[in-house]
Amino acid sequence: MSENNEKKVHGLVAEYTSVDTLLDACRRVRDAGYKKTDAFAPFPVHGIDKALGIKPTILPWIVLACGLAGTTTGLAMQIWMNSIDYKYIISGKPYLSLPAFIPVAYELTILFASFGAFFGMWALNGLPRFSNPIFTDPRFDRATDDRFFLYIDAKDDKYDEGSIRSLFGETTTDYIQTVVDDDSSPKVPKGIFVAWAAVASFSVIPLLIVLKMRVTNSPMPRFHVFFDMDFSPAKDAQQTSTLFADGRAMRRDVPGTVARGEIFTDMDFMTGIDMDLLTEMNAAKAEQLVSTFNNPHFLQDDEEINVEKPEELEIDEPAPPTSESVMDTTPWLKKNPMPIDAKLLKQGKAQFEIYCAVCHGLNGGGNGLVNRRAQKILAATWIPPSKLNQPGLMQDVYPDGKMFSTISNGIRKMPGYSAQIKTKDRWAIVAYVRALQRSQNANIDQVPDEKREEILIEQEEVKQKLKEQAEAEAKAAEEAAQKN
Amino acid sequence: MSEHDAHAVKAADDPAFQLPATLSSLSLPLCIGGVAALLIGWAFGSSIVSARFGMSAYLTAFMYCLTISLGSLFFVLIQHLVRAGWSVVVRRIAELFMVMVIPLGVLFIPVLATLLFGDGTLYNWDDPNYASENHLPKDAWTEKIRWLSQDWFTARAIFYFLAWSTVAVWYFRRSVEQDETGERAVSDRMIYWSGPAIMVFCGATSFAAFDWVMSLAPMWFSTMFGVYIFAGSVLSAHCMICAVSFLLQRTGAMRDEVTIEHYHDLGKYIFGFVFFWAYISFSQYLLIWYGNIPEETHWFYERQLGVWGAVSIVLILLHWALPFLGTMSLHIRRRPPLITFWAVYILAMHYIDLYWMIMPEAHLEVGGVAGIVCSLLCLVGMLSLMFGLVLRVADQTKMVPVRDPRLQESLAFENI
């Protein structure tokens, strides 16, 4: 192959038949002072770094940095998402609960570290490259099979073909060859460009479809990729089901059993109604009410009750939107039957924030996350949740028992929560809502003296901030108007 | 593959394979001193603090030595199971510690003896009034008591020790036998039986952890507890092998046999198992924390109160974070004195880990200065006794499996 001499020489390579001869050659080359060298073997050879005088790689530092970046990303992402940007209680844990964040941070550490190791290795080795001149020699193919090669690059400061040939000659090799450029044309075949263009244009199609759908209207019904996720087969209370002979979706308790913590003999406590008064006023209704809670038919024979049909609690107003105008004769309990103390209020607060606050808002102002979202997407069928601090819901016009009943059985679009919230907790919520109402309609005289100062300062600050905000908005609106 | 540097295997009777005389003369004093310290520590704790405290300190020291011994047993089995070549030069050290499971079986008798009193001296479930005093649900308690009964507990303990010592003695005898004959078939048999042996080991170790440590809080349960004990056990065994290799080399044995490469590999395992320990203990915590069921959380809750809360933080920072960063670098693992420092450090942390598991069940705030002194006396006593016995056995064998067919491979082993 000496006719290749006019081509660009990249270096010189020698072939060896065993690890020992390769390592011996490596040591000689290292001792002769060559730096830009490389060895090729079909399998990892321990000790080759030392034999070739290769400096320790900086890859571990890259991996460490990437790993730490992964930990930081994982933690920052979760803290931002769950504790700052979109506060949401999950499993009753605090917004910022480190143990829950660790698995994701740990996984990202590993992911980033592996990427660091993999792509860092590529970068340090100058990969990917399409071709390496050393592949020109067909004999080099055996580097993946049963031969070992040692290569000295022409860029080495001490590179001199003659002296290297004599150096290689001293080692146990029968094959020394200069590494030259490939014979084939460096031009990339046209077909490859065509194929690339084709793949690229096809890959744009899904994106275009998505974009088109984002900006156009369609009379077709929405396409449901995951039908049973859009329409959950789970049933709510009072819905029917074909799964059971009696058509009920919700199952009654097993005959003769009572759910934990739900055994109460006090009907007032269970219904929020003064049963003695109700019996005087309407004995039949009271009877019916008692029977729904403690119906021997239910407990003995489920089928029979299906025939008897109605068990709806019609004691609540049949939902005209302005229920105040209709005379409500039900003798609601005026007072919360639970002893009101800080513990109960705390319990009520916790339950309120889990079940009620998503719609009614954390302060009961009627602007919870669900409501805000509904307003944002202009949901047509949305009925805004009540402001819990409005005059019509105060204790004098809307007794505690009535509120308890509303929580239990629902009103208008609001579903009943008796299935989810325990009886005691529903009373606790009532107590907490009363506290919320008070806090939202309070004046400064009700604040204890020692705290008053603090509140006044805070009030001033909030006012100032609101003012600044309003000014900024007005300014922005003005500017926008001027632009138009 | 790369035996380019000729590593001559020394003759089997070379003095480098003998236990140095400075160490062998320590055997008897260590045994006597150990027993004395153990007795004083136990008696001190039992009388000054409480009977339960004294026994708990004893159990902590016992579990400390047992986990090292079991970790060594696992080390030997896993090296055979994967036919590892690199570890041959340090395998004998692990073999010496694994046979310590026999004297530890004798040392378990005092723990069993507490059951004779039948008043919950050490284990709450042994107290007939425990359930009624703590208003435990009757049906759950009847089921618990079926497993945690005196007879069945004793029978299981005997089974565990039988299983461990059968495996340990069999492997030790084969290995010593090979020192004389150098037969390859012996290695083959050891490899063949390592699979079944490791299964027996895992079962016995897991259930022993449930029985001896987890049942201190009889109503608490964690299916990961066996793995938790195992993680600390394998970690401490690797540390012990590293530290003892260093000690032996310092006193003159196997100077050419154990090289930087072996320390590097032991260091890698120490690094890995430091994280494995953290991974397992965090996983156990996370599941219980997230589930938030009172009957599961109380164990961790008690360990967040008072001084135990501080110990919990110490474990996170000093049992995981610090040694994790400390053993991360190749440059530390390839320097025998440095990696030995970390090995000894982690061995100390391993005691705190066990202390944190066992002592809160004695329901005391570490028992004051007296409590700490008594716990440390028990630990030093038990450890000295184990060391004394290790030296005694070591004096009659070689420090390295001198005729193992893979010895040459191990000597020539290189990492990079």
**Residues on chain A touching B259 (C-beta within 8 angstroms):** none
pLDDT > 80? residue A305: no
What is the per-residue pLDDT for B313? 95
For B298, phi then psi, to 5°, come to -60, -30
Instruction: Check CB contact under 8 Å for B416 and A47.
Output: yes
One-letter amino acid at A403 equals M
The answer to whether A91 contacts chain B (CB < 8 Å) is yes
Tell me which residues of chain A, numbers 35 to 64, contact chain B at a CB-CB cutoff of 8 Å.
43, 45-47, 49-50, 56, 60, 64
Contact A47 B289 (CB under 8 A): no
Distance CA A473, CA A469 (A): 6
Tell me, what's the pLDDT at A106? 96
Q: Which two tokens stand for residue B236?
A: 């401490």
Residue A6 confidence (pLDDT) above 70: no
Which site among B7, B260, B327, B416 would you substitute to test the A interface, given the most A Cβ atoms closer than 10 Å to its Cβ? B416
Using CA atoms, how far apart are residues A447 and B56, in angstroms rounded to an integer?
55
Mean pLDDT along residues A20-42: 91
Select the highest-mean-pLDDT range: A192-201, A281-290, A455-464, B44-53. A192-201
Q: Do B2 and A92 touch (CB under 8 A)?
A: no
Q: Which residues of A touch B292 (CB under 8 A)?
A: 91-92
**Residues constituting chain A:** 484
Measured CA to CA, the distance from residue A183 to residue A136 in angstroms comes to 8
Question: Cβ–Cβ of A64/B330 closer than 8 Å?
Answer: no
Residue B416 touches partner A, C-beta closer than 8 Å? yes
Contacts of B303 by beta carbon, 8 Å cutoff, 6+ apart: B309, B311, B312, B356, B360
CA-based nearest residue to B205, from B167, B171, B169: B167
SS3 B405: coil
Q: How far is B276 from chain A (nearest CA, A)?
A: 13
Q: Which amino acid makes up residue B403?
A: R
| Closest CA–CA distance from residue A148 to any residue of chain B (Å) | 14
- The ipTM estimated for the assembled molecules is 0.86
What secondary structure, in 3-state letters, does chain A show? Answer: CHHHHHCCEEEEEEEECCHHHHHHHHHHHHHCCCCCEEEECCCCCCCHHHHHCCCCCCHHHHHHHHHHHHHHHHHHHHHHHHHHHCCCCCCCCCCCCHHHHHHHHHHHHHHHHHHHHHHHHHHHCCCCCCCCHHHHCHHHHHHHCCCEEEEEECCCCCCCHHHHHHHHHHCCCCCEEEEECCCCCCCCCHHHHHHHHHHHHHHHHHHHHHHHHHHCCCCCCCCCCCHHHHCCCCCCCCCECCCCCCCECCCCCCCCCCCCCCCCCCHHHHHCECHHHHHHHCHHHHHHHHHHHCCHHHHHCHHHHHHHCCCCCCCCCCCCCCHHHCCCCCCECCCCCCCCCHHHHHHHHHHHHHHHHHHHCCCCCCCCHHHHHHHHCCCCCCCCCCCCCCHHHCCCCCCHHHHHHHHHHEECCEECCCCCCCHHHHHHHHHHHHHHHHHHCCCHHHCCHHHHHHHHHHHHHHHHHHHHHHHHHHHHHHHHHHHC
Please give the pLDDT value at position A263: 64
Residues 6+ apart with CB under 8 A from B125: B144, B145, B148, B215, B218
Which residues in chain A are contacts of B272 at CB distance < 8 A? none
Contact A91 B289 (CB under 8 A): no
Name which of B10, B92, B19, B14 is nearest B252 in CA terms.
Answer: B19
The average pLDDT across B106-123 equals 90
How far apart are alpha carbons B157 and B209 in whole angstroms? 11
B317 has which bridge partners?
none
Q: Are strands A148-153 and A37-40 parallel, antiparallel or unpaired?
A: antiparallel
B2–A23 C-beta distance less than 8 A: yes
pTM of this prediction exceeds 0.90 = no
B409 interfaces chain A, CB cutoff of 8 Å: no
Cross-chain Cβ contact A46/B290 below 8 Å: no
Token pair, residue B391, equals 């030296």
Would you say residue A320 has pLDDT above 90? no
> Which residues in chain B are closer than 8 Å to A102, comparing Cβ atoms?
282, 286
User: Which one of B4, B285, B289 has the shortest CB-CB distance to A23?
Assistant: B4
Three-class SS state of B406? coil
What is the radius of gyration, based on Cα positions, of chain A?
A: 40
The predicted structure's pLDDT at residue B57:
94
CB contact under 8 A, B1 and A103: no
Interface of B with A in 286-305 (CB under 8 A): 286, 289-290, 292
Cβ distance A46 to B1 less than 8 Å, yes or no, reads: yes
Mutation site for A-interface testing, chosen from B4, B282, B297, B409 by largest number of A Cβ within 10 Å? B4
Tokens representing A424 are: 């005691």
Higher pLDDT, B62 or A35: B62
Task: Flag whether residue A322 sits within 8 Å of chain B, measured between CB atoms.
Answer: no
Q: Do A241 and A257 meet the contact criterion of CB atoms below 8 Å apart?
A: no
Q: For chain B, how many residues are written?
A: 416
Q: Which B residues 269-288 touch A at CB under 8 Å? A: 282, 285-286
Q: Which of A419, A441, A421, A439 shows the shortest CA–CA distance to A429?
A: A421
In B, which residues are within 8 Å of A103 by CB distance?
286
User: Would the CB atoms of A99 and B290 count as touching at under 8 Å?
Assistant: yes
Mean pLDDT computed over every residue of chain A: 83
Helix and strand element counts for chain B (H, E): 19, 0
pLDDT tens-place string over residues B163-199: 999 999 999 999 999 999 989 999 999 999 999 999 9
With an 8 Å Cβ cutoff, is B140 touching chain A? no
Asked if A19 contacts B2 with a C-beta cutoff of 8 angstroms, the reply is yes
Residue-wise burial string across B332-350, b where 16 or more C-beta atoms lie within 10 A, e elsewhere: bbbbbebbbebbebbbebb
- The token pair that represents B193 in the structure block: 């039986």
The reported pLDDT for the residue numbered B298 is 92
Interchain proximity B416–A100, CB inside 8 Å:
no
- A390 versus B284: the higher-pLDDT residue is B284
For residue B24, what are its two tokens?
A: 């062998």
Average pLDDT score over chain B: 93
A215-239 per-position pLDDT tens digit: 998 888 888 888 888 888 788 777 8
Taking CA atoms, what residue in A is nearest to B286?
A99
Query: What are the two backbone dihedrals, phi and then psi, of residue B327, each rounded to the nearest 5 degrees?
Result: -100, 10
CA distance A100 to chain B (A): 7
Give residue-wise pLDDT tens across range A431-484: 998 888 888 777 777 777 888 888 888 888 999 999 998 998 888 888 888 876
Is residue A358 within 8 Å of residue A370, measured between CB atoms? yes
Place of tokens 């490899």: B191
Which of A21, A46, A61, A90 is the best residue to mutate to test the B interface, defined by the most B CB atoms within 10 Å of its own CB? A46
For tokens 């075949």, name the residue. Answer: A189
Contact indicator for A391, A397 with CB cutoff of 8 Å: yes
